[in-house]
Amino acid sequence: GQLESLFVSLMAMVGFFDENGRPKVRFKIGGVRNGGEITALFDTGFSGSLALPPQYLIAVGSELVGIEPMTYADGRTSNELLFSIKVDLDGESKSIVAHLISGAAEPIAGNQLFYPYVVLVDFMGKKLNLVRKELFDKIIEEQKRLQQ
Which residues are within 8 A (CB) of 25 and not within 5 positions of it... i.e. 6 or more apart? 13, 15, 39, 40, 42, 109, 128, 130
Prediction pTM value:
0.82
Largest interatomic CA distance in the chain:
55
CA contacts within 13 A on the Cβ side of 90: 16
What SS3 class is residue 148? coil
Tens-digit pLDDT profile for residues 96-148: 999 998 776 899 999 999 988 888 898 999 999 888 888 888 888 888 888 88
Which tens digit of pLDDT belongs to each residue from 50-92? 999 999 999 999 999 999 888 777 888 888 899 999 999 888 8
Given a contact cutoff of 8 angstroms between Cβ atoms, the answer to whether 13 and 48 are in contact is: no
